[in-house]
Amino acid sequence: MKDNNRSPEVADIFRRYGKEYRTNNAVSAQQYKVMKRIEICRTAALGGHVEACDRCGHRRNAYNSCRVRHCPKCQTMVKEKWLENRKAELLPGPYFHNVFTLPHELNSLIMVNKRIMLALLFTAVKETLQVFARDPQWRIEGQLGFISVLHTWNQKLMDHYHLHCIIPAGALSYDRKKWSAASKNYLFRIESLAKEFQRRYLNKLKKAYRKNQLFLHGRAERYRDEKQFLQLIAALWDKKWITYAKQPFGGPEQVLEYLGRYTHRVAITNNRISAIDNGGVRFSYQDRSDDNKEKELTVGADEFIRRFLLHVLPCGFTKIRYYGFLAHANKKACIALIRRLIGVPIAYAQKVEESVQQMMLRLTGVDICCCPQCGEGTLVYVRPIARAAYDDTS
């Protein structure tokens, strides 16, 4: 399917094939909600308002967004507001970017225990980084501050659980009197980080299992036998865990550019979907094993939906977290203190409150309040559009 007026979207796939998929496959309540909300995003089902041009009288309907964090159409405004808040928190100097990845052998367990096993990922990474920052051999001896962002997918929409950490290049001493800058080229030795991360995660996982905190169902059911679970743990001890450092950011501007690309990313954006036809979905991906060349993959619609739903997070699960001197309770005082300690004269961005119209004008150069008919008048609110009735419980 290729509409003459626009490219195909995830919502189109759900509208065309979603009901059949839900009939033939078990979906969780959260997955069902995500599918249904994406289907009706920016349609009469969610209501909206009528707006009219104050010059020529042209009228149009403006429908509400679903605001689901997995929706490809609803993250731009959220991301931009989040970035504006981060601008006022940047520090002068370089930033590091470390990535911690869980082995794929854990995928079946994670799928039925996302809340606890992904929370363990955040905790194990936080502890690993902070214990290294305390170690005198790395010559910073203090508290790190960093933002961790969870991604659960690879380019082909398969499950691939990893954490991106954006870390200012230095540590604040525990007495809050000194800023120790890290090496320009690296923060900590990657091999050492990987071993510590592995140790902490597996110990926490074993403890959760013995406290009966893990739900064992489907492919993970085989681990009801503790012997098999311990065999899995032993195999994971023998495996080399992947932790790597990307090229350090040169400064705050590069950090913002990165954050804008990655923090509010969803599993797949609509512009990667090129066709929906004959029960299949064709989408583009970057092949990491072939110099990141862009290629196309076609899968059945039911397989596309299955892959998309792999990445629906538990309700209320926080995918962006802040630690150390960047934690919410600390950052206001700590950022001002660190800036004074670093002593680099720089004009820091101030937090700016923008309307949706101002933000869209800045991002796209398009004034969304300008009449598309006459190009001179301003669209003004006329009346609300009531939400249409739709089935959200079947």
Give the domain ranges of the chain: 11-70+353-385, 76-267+310-342
pLDDT of residue 386: 92
> How far apart (Å, rounded) are the C-alpha atoms in residues 268 and 172?
38
pLDDT of residue 391: 47
- Closest C-alpha to 352, from 119, 83, 98: 83
pTM to 2 decimals? Answer: 0.91
Helix (H, G, I), strand (E, B) or coil at 156: coil
Helices 252-262 and 76-87 sit at what angle, rounded to 10 degrees? 160
DSSP 293-318: EEEEEEEEHHHHHHHHHTTPPPTT--
Sign of the torsion formed by the C-alpha atoms of 319, 320, 324 and 330: negative
> How far apart (Å, rounded) are the C-alpha atoms in residues 119 and 131?
18
The 10 Å Cβ neighbour count of residue 159 is 17
Q: What is the pLDDT along the chain (394 residues), one digit of tens a residue?
A: 444 467 899 999 999 999 999 999 999 999 999 999 999 999 999 999 999 999 999 999 999 999 999 999 888 778 888 888 888 888 988 899 999 999 999 999 999 999 999 999 999 999 999 999 999 998 899 999 999 999 999 999 999 999 999 999 999 999 999 999 998 888 999 999 999 999 999 999 999 999 999 999 888 999 999 999 999 999 999 999 999 988 777 777 778 777 777 788 899 999 999 999 999 999 999 998 898 899 999 999 999 999 999 999 999 999 999 999 999 999 999 999 999 999 877 655 566 677 777 777 777 788 989 999 999 999 999 999 998 755 443 3
**Contact of 94 with 252, CB cutoff 8 Å:** no
Question: What length is written for the chain?
Answer: 394
- Strand segments, DSSP code E, in the chain are 48-53, 59-63, 95-101, 145-153, 159-168, 170-172, 179-181, 243-249, 273-277, 280-287, 293-300, 320-324, 379-385
How far, in whole angstroms, is CA 31 from its chain's centroid?
17
**Contact of 218 with 71, CB cutoff 8 Å:** no
**Contact of 387 with 45, CB cutoff 8 Å:** yes
pLDDT of residue 349: 58
- Domain 76-267+310-342: give its CATH code: 3.40.1310
Single-letter residue type at 203:
N
pLDDT of residue 203: 98
> How far apart (Å, rounded) are the C-alpha atoms in residues 100 and 244?
7
Helices 29-39 and 10-24 sit at what angle, rounded to 10 degrees? 140
pLDDT of residue 75: 81
